Amino acid sequence: MIPVAVIGTEGYAFQQLERIFFLNHYFQVVGVCSEPNRREKGYQFCVERKIDVFEDVKGLLEAVRSKAKAVFIFTGIDSHYQYARQCLENGFEVFLEKPPVPTIQQIDDLIALESQTGRRVAVLFQYLYSGIVQTLKRRIVSGEFGQVRRVRSLAAWQRPDAYFRRNHWCGTVRTFGGEWVLDGTLNNPQAHVLSNSLYLAGSEMDQMAYPLVVEAELYRVHEIESEDTSSMRIVCENGCVLIHNTTLCSTSEVRSETVVECERATITYRNFNQAQIVFKDGRQTEFLEEAEDPRMGMLKDVAACFESGRAYKVPLVLCRPFTLCVNGAFDSSGQPADIDPAHVVKSRHNGMPITLIKDIVPIMQRAHASSQLLSEIQVPWARRGRPIVMKEYSSFPGPRVSWES
């Protein structure tokens, strides 16, 4: 059993707290940090279980220094870098909620700090731990399907207007305090779609595919600074090309679909829990399905790797290409483009106001099927981004992009 501390108690953090307490043969929570102005279900959950609750991270880490061996970080994207750094400097292993950090310079700094401190970071991209993704990855890397030539992904989801107002960093590129966030389809709710694509495109078991050139189009219909709709092409160093089209403003829910086009087979991975493998030599089509909650499997796997000293399945360095692609996308697009109101639908869903994009499902499906960006299929509101070369990219934003408001 691993004694752990937890930073964050509300919202998604509360859901993770419940899972950790359920896995009481794996983890023992010895202290939590809960913001004084946001103490709801998660706070009460901890108080009822007589867990020490602290108002700030510094106080938590000082109090659990002799008790905890690792720290879960379940806070907002803007705080990931700061908290992960504090934990590593204080001698703790870190279990960090996705996405790891907003910028490439932050992830590189933490990777260097891992070496200096001898402590490690495991990133909680839960679907990368799943049995179905790990099985597909092993078979791809083994060469069974031949070289991966192209990966194309699609996800068209709905989020009510209130979703974009749920906290201080949602929908922002940068907080008022100056912390980078880059919140949106690429770096938050649909980050799994991008991370899975990069992972399945990677040539080695412990690698994502590295971007060589990123070209992206970022759009918004909500009153936010960042994006709620994205279209991106990534040319990778290993020759694979990724096409990625996602939105949170869909008129109907289209679950995620990632198509991995290989020399000898085509793999279609849907809804994070199903896969179909169609062989080009006429062999019988295979179907795979995932039953276990991937978050539970992830937590068990992290615990097992910690206890044994084995490498984590998703270490910080594995996620470097993901952060590079997010940074390259924002540099490529610049400020997200506002979609003309003529193409926007105001509606209600489950009694809540929701803002949608007209005809976005057939638009996205057409781009996905043809492996194109939205601007390339003549969408009237689409605009093309500029290609960004990522070979020596080391700091966001790039020299030709300004995010000053």
At 298, which amino acid appears?
A: M
Q: Which of 79, 104, 127 corresponds to the end of one domain?
A: 127
Look up the CATH number of the domain holding residue 146. Answer: 3.30.360.10
Each residue's pLDDT tens digit, 30-65? 999 998 777 889 999 999 999 999 999 999 999 999
Residue 248 lies in a domain: yes
208 shares a domain with 113: no
264 shares a domain with 328: yes
Task: Give me 148's structure tokens.
Answer: 């991966």
Q: Is 8 helix (H, G, I), strand (E, B) or coil?
A: coil
Task: Give me 204's structure tokens.
Answer: 């080695």
Domain of 324 in residue numbering reads as 129-290+316-389
Count of structural domains, the chain: 2
Each residue's pLDDT tens digit, 209-240? 999 999 999 999 999 999 999 999 999 999 99
Pair type for strands 344-349 and 265-270: unpaired
Task: Give me 121's structure tokens.
Answer: 């970071």
Note whether 114 and 88 are within 8 A (CB). yes
End-to-end CA distance of the chain: 48
85 shares a domain with 59: yes
Mean pLDDT confidence for 158-162: 96
Query: Is 50 exceeded by the pLDDT of residue 148?
Result: yes
Note whether 266 and 396 are within 8 A (CB). no
114 shares a domain with 177: no
In whole angstroms, what is the distance from residue 204 CA to residue 265 CA?
18
Share of the chain above pLDDT 90, in %: 94
Query: Is 60 exceeded by the pLDDT of residue 208?
Result: yes
Task: Give me 198's structure tokens.
Answer: 């990069």
What does the mean pLDDT of the chain come to? 96
Q: Which of 105, 127, 149 corresponds to the end of one domain?
A: 127
Q: Give me the pLDDT at residue 35, please.
A: 83
233 shares a domain with 379: yes
176 shares a domain with 69: no
Q: How confident is the model at residue 403 (pLDDT cuts 50, 70, 90)?
A: low
Q: Is 26 helix (H, G, I), strand (E, B) or coil?
A: coil
204 shares a domain with 133: yes
